[in-house]
Structure 1
Amino acid sequence: MAEVAAALRADGHEDWRVYGPLELPPILDAALTAFDEHGYHGTSVRDIARRIGVTVPTLYYHFENKQAMLVELLMGSMRAVLGRCRDAIGDADTDPVVRFRALVECIVLYMAQRAPLAFLDTEIRSLEADNRERYVALRDELEALLRHSVRDAVDVGAFTTPYPVDAARAVLTMCQGVANWYRADGPLTPSALADRYVEIALSTVGHRARV
């Protein structure tokens, strides 16, 4: 199981803006497809095993139960987007507005490029209490990255929102919502969509352009 987990968590990116095909281990790929089609509670371990042509005992050799598969997918997804966001911050200069723009771009790109995986966030309700606590901690970390950039920009007079915490949360929710509707065959590429969302996000926080 450790080897399977590492394959998902590594993400494998060299450039946070660049994405290759989503490559998951067969069991997790089958689980993700089944969860997407039928929901977590509507999916059985037998169905996942059938999709990849293995027996249920073989599947249990790799994962303790269905909950473990969900945890691996959710935690792996959140670690992947966090890793890319940290790289985006690293590429940005010390200007908090540049950092904010990079974070929004990064999150939207992930939600569009990894929509089936990111959409699984809706199954947080299916996590057991301890697993939900661990996942929420990672999601809070993502929100904190945005929140800090908004507060820093407010401090230097670049953002005018009187509600930096609420504004950051609203921007994150807006960005995460992309995974619910984005389709690769739609009119906007992920990059074009990210550019558009950066402008919307800047309006949300009351960006004051320098003259």
Structure 2
Amino acid sequence: MTTRSRRTPRNPPPEVAPRTPAEPSSWRDYRHDLLPPLLSSALKSFTGHGYHGTTIRQLAEGAGLSVPGLYHHYPSKHALLVAIMSHAMNDLWDRSNAAIAEAGDSVALQFHHLVECLVLFHASRRDLAFIAFSEIRSLNPDAREHHIAARDRQQRLLDAIVDRGVRDGVFTSEDPHLLSTAVITMCTGVSQWFQPEGAQSPAQLAEKYCLIAGRAAGTTTTSVEPLRSHQP
């Protein structure tokens, strides 16, 4: 869900999702789906048929509404897509900041927590993350600029941690920019292949990705606790 861009939005998006941030202490907890039911139904349709392959009538039927009833809540199919993508970026942002805050002042633990958070999100909310990545092309210009700005803001969280880690000698990477981009790409790609019924749980996968990312960063500390003990 994150690649770099220098563009900034001219205007706020025409439609935004209702904000339902996760509790600061529950950034690892995915037992409850925070996506409102109407958006959850639309997400299922977009995942199964693609945005352009889904009709308003299918969206209404999936939500148990008439077409006029659907329009009462959202004025267009595009409005539903914007709301879904906005929810994805808000949820990931809230969880990421909670993960970093829980790590305290340790840059190594901040890095570890943020990588864990990214993997858990893209494995546990894979359909949401996949649509937020793949359907950027379907957004109108204003909504696209707003989404890209939110995506860049998310990227900068890891950039800042990596830069500080290199500056403080915690990481030995010779190219912090490349490291940050590579780690983000590795973590966000999880939504494209992860299967819940597979051999690894999201927590197990996050643990392995943290080890891989730490080795790529050339971390000089080994004082990071194992992940699985923290899972709800």
User: Does the pair score TM above 0.5?
Assistant: yes
Distance in 1 between residues matched to 2:183 and 2:104, nearest whole Å: 21
Structure 1 alignment gaps of length 5 or more: none
Trace 1:68-107 onto structure 2 (pairs within 5 A). 68-107=79-118
What's the counterpart of residue 211 of structure 2?
A: 199
Q: Which runs of 5+ in 2 are unaligned?
A: 1-15, 224-232
The CA deviation at 1:24 is 3.1
Q: Match for 1:104: what amino acid?
A: V
Find out whether 1:26 has 2:37 as its counterpart. Answer: yes
1:90-169 equivalent positions in 2, closer than 5 A: 90-120=101-131, 121-169=133-181
**Greater share of helix:** 1
Distance 1:46 1:27 in 2: 14
Of 26-35 and 62-71, deviating more is 26-35
User: Relative contact order (C-alpha < 8 Å, sep 6+): which is higher?
Assistant: 2
- Judged with a 3 Å threshold, the aligned counterparts in structure 2 of structure 1 residues 175 and 210 are, in CA distance, closer, same or farther, namely closer
Structure 1 distance, partners of 2:104, 2:80, is 38
- Number of the residue aligned with 2:66: 55
The answer for the alignment partner of 2:53 in structure 1 is 42
Identity of matched residues, %: 40
Distance, in Å, in 1 between the alignment partners of 2:189 and 2:137 is: 17
Higher mean C-alpha deviation, range 94-103 or range 158-167: 158-167
Amino acid at match of 1:201: A
**Whole-Å separation in 1 of the counterparts to 2:115 and 2:222:** 20
For 1:5 and 1:82, locate their aligned partners in 2 and report how far apart those are by CA, in whole Å: 14
Once residues 98 and 123 of structure 2 are traced to their aligned partners in structure 1, the CA distance between those partners, rounded to angstroms, is: 18
Match of 1:187 in 2: 199
Tell me the distance in 1 between the aligned counterparts of 2:39 and 2:67.
Answer: 14
Equivalent residues, number:
206
Q: Name the CA distance, whole Å, in 2 between partners of 1:76 and 1:152.
A: 29
If the length of structure 2 is used for normalisation, what is the TM-score?
0.84
For 2:87, give the aligned amino acid: G
Q: CA deviation at 1:168?
A: 0.6
CA contact (8 A) 2:20 2:34 kept: no
Deviations 1:56-87 (A, max 9, x none): 11111111101110110011111101101100
After alignment, is 101-110 or 43-52 more displaced? 43-52
Change (3 A) 1:56 1:147: same
What is the rounded CA distance, in whole Å, between the counterparts of 2:159 and 2:95 in structure 1? Answer: 17
RMSD, aligned CA = 1.7
Off by >6 Å, runs of 4+ in structure 1: none
Q: Following the alignment from structure 1 to structure 2, what is the Cα–Cα distance between the partners of residues 148 and 200? A: 19
2:20 equivalent to 1:10: yes
